Amino acid sequence: MARQKWGSRWAFVLAAVGSAAGLGNAWRFPYMAYSNGGGAFYVPYFIALFLVGIPLLMAEFAIGQGLQSSAPKSMAIIRKNAEFIGWFAVIGGAIITFYYNVIMAYIFNYLYYSFGVAWKDDPNGFFFGKFLQVSSGPGELGSIRWPIVIGLALTWLWIYFILRKGTTSVGKTVAWTVPLPVVLLLILGIRGITLDGAAKGLNFLFEPNFAKLADPRVWANAFGQIFFTLSLAFGIMIAYGSYNKKEEDIANNAIITALGNSATSYLAGIAVFSVLGYMATQLSVPVDKVVSGGIGLAFVVYPQAISLFPGGVVVQSIIGLLFFLMLLTLGIDSAFSLVEAVEAAASDKFKVNKKAFLIGFSIFGFLAGLLFSTQGGLYWLDIIDHFVSVYGLLIAGILESIIIGWLFGAEKLRKYINEVSEIKIGKWFNFSIKFLIPAVLIIILGLNFFDELKKPYGDYPSWALWTGFSMLIITPIIAIILSKIPPKDKDYYKKVEIDLTEGGN
C-alpha cells in the first residue's frame, strides 16, 4: 500500500507550524522572555534557533522524508537495535497527549464560561475552587470533575475526526486552525496595545537587561525553549516529513516552520503583556506582581484582566471568547500531531487499520485522562509533565541526535538536504548535529537534575515524585518491548537510500 501524501506543500508546512505553535507559545514563551532578561533574551533565543532548532528540524524532516518512515522505523533502518529510540520518543508524546488533552478540556469549559464572564472578580477562586475543586494534595484524588470529562471527550472526538482520513483531513483542518489563532492574536494584540498602561507591560517584555546574558541559565533556558517549542524529539516531524515526496524542499520548509513558530510566540507576547500592563495599571501595582506563566496565566491572570476590560460584560465576554478560542485552535494542532506520530509508528510496524487504531487509542487516551480529571488531577498533571516532558524529551533528543549525526551520518544527510533544497547548508550543520545539539541538551539535562537535587520539584511528597519518575522508567521499557516485537511488514528493516536515485514518488 502506497504511503499517504500531503495534498500540497502548504498543507505540510501548516501542519508542521501548527504542531510547533502550541499552548506553550501563548503561556510559556512570554513568561520565559520576561524572566530571562526581556529583550535581551532574544539574543540567545535566535542564536539557539539557528544553531540548534532549525538544524534539528531539518534533520527530522530529512530523515522522515528520505526514508519515508515514522520515527521508530527510521531508527530501525539506520540501525536495527536503535529502533527503541523512535518508540521512546512517540510513547513520551503519547503520555503527554493524555494530560495535554485535559488542558484542552479546561479551555473548552472556559469558552463556555466566557459567556457572561462566569469567573467575575475572583478568577483564582473560580478556577481552583469552583471549576477544579482542587484537593489538598496528590494523595487525595477526590471525585471526578464531570465538566472536565465532557471537555476531554470533545477533544478526543475532535482529534479522531481530524485524523481519520489521514493527510487529507489534516490538510483541510490546518487550513483554518493554523491561521485562525494568528488572526485572533492580532486582534487581541491590537486591542491590548490601545489599553491604558499597555506600554508598561510591553516594556517588561522587550526592554533588554543585557546583564542577564552573563547567566548561563538564561542561555540554557533559551536553547531549551527552542527545543521544546518546535515539537522536536516527539517523532512528529519525522512522521510529517514521511508524507512528503522525496524531492520536497527541506531547508525552506524548516526555516518557514521555525520562523512561523517564533512569530506566533512574538505575537502572543504582545497580546499577553499589553493586557498585563493594563491590569497592573488598573490595580495600581507593579507589572511583576501580575505576571505569571503556564496554567496560571491562562485561567487566572488573563481572566482577571478580562474582568477589568472597559465596555461591560458584553465586551468582556467577547474578549474571553477570542482568547480561549485562540488557545483552543493553538492547542488542537499540537494535540493531534502527537497522536499522528503514534499512529504512523503503529501503522509502519504492525499494519494496523487507521480508523480502528484511532478509535482504540482515543478511548484509551480518554480513560487515561480521567486521572487528571479528578480533584487531585492538577497535581498529577504537573508531576508527570515535569518528568516526561522535561527529562524524557531531552533524553530522546540526545539519543536521536547521536543516531542521526554519528550512525546515519550528518554529512550524508546534509548532502540529501542540499540535493532537494533551494537554500544550501554548509558543514556547520554537521557540527551542530554531531556535537552542539547533544552537548547543549546534556547541559540542560544536567542543570535540571542539579535543581532536582537541591530542592524537590514543587514541594511535592517524595512518594509522589517517585511515582512521576516511574513514568520516565516505564517509557523506555515499553519502547524496548515494542522494538523487539516482530514487524508485520517484511521490509520493515530493509535499508533505504535517502538520495533521489529511487525516485521521489
pLDDT band at 500 (very low <50, low <70, confident <90, very high): low
Averaged pLDDT score across all residues of the chain: 94
pLDDT band at 292, cuts 50/70/90? confident
The CATH class of the 15-484 domain is mainly alpha
Find, among 231, 45, 89, 397, the residue nearest to 405 by Cα. 397
CB under 8 Å to 475, separation ≥6 — which residues?
A: 88, 91, 92, 95, 388, 392
Residue 186: the pLDDT is 96
Q: Domain boundaries in the chain?
A: 15-484
**In the predicted structure, residue 139 carries a pLDDT above the cut 70:** yes
Q: Comparing C-alpha atoms, which of 171, 157, 32, 47 is closest to residue 104?
A: 157
Contact 52, 309 (CB under 8 A): no
Q: Is 459 left (phi over 0), alpha (psi -120 to 50) or beta?
A: left
How much is the pLDDT for 121? 86
Q: Which of these ranges, 162-176, 264-278, 279-293, 406-420, has the smallest mean pLDDT?
A: 279-293
Instruction: Give me the mean pLDDT over the 67-71 stretch.
Output: 97
Q: What are phi and psi of 144, to 5 degrees?
A: -75, 140
**pLDDT attached to residue 1:** 65
> Count of CB atoms within 10 A of residue 179's CB?
14
Phi, psi for residue 374 in degrees, rounded to 5: -90, 175
Q: Residue 2: what pLDDT? A: 80
Please tell me the pTM assigned to this model. 0.95
Q: Three-class SS of residue 121?
A: coil
Is the model's pLDDT at 289 over the cut of 90?
no
**% of the chain at pLDDT higher than 70:** 98
* Separation of alpha carbons 184 and 161, rounded Å: 24
> Quick check: 502 pLDDT over 60?
no
Q: Which of 12-16, 32-36, 138-142 has the lowest mean pLDDT?
A: 32-36
Q: State the Cα–Cα distance between residues 368 and 471, nearest whole angstrom.
A: 13
Mean pLDDT of 295-300: 90
What local confidence, expressed as pLDDT, does residue 28 receive?
87
The answer to whether the CB of 88 falls within 8 A of the CB of 479 is yes
pLDDT interval class at 281 (50, 70, 90): very high
In order of 78, 83, 225, 300, 451, the CA distances from 273 in angstroms are: 46, 44, 19, 15, 28
Burial class (CB in 10 A: 0-12, 13-18, 19+), 70: buried
Q: State whether residue 69 is helix, strand or coil.
A: coil
pLDDT score of 78: 96
One-letter amino acid identity for 467? T
Where do the H-state alpha helices sit in 370-455? Answer: 377-385, 393-402, 410-420, 428-431, 437-454
Q: How many CA atoms lie within 13 A of 251 on its CB side?
A: 16
DSSP bridge pairs for 144:
374
Provide mean pLDDT across the span 374-379.
Answer: 97
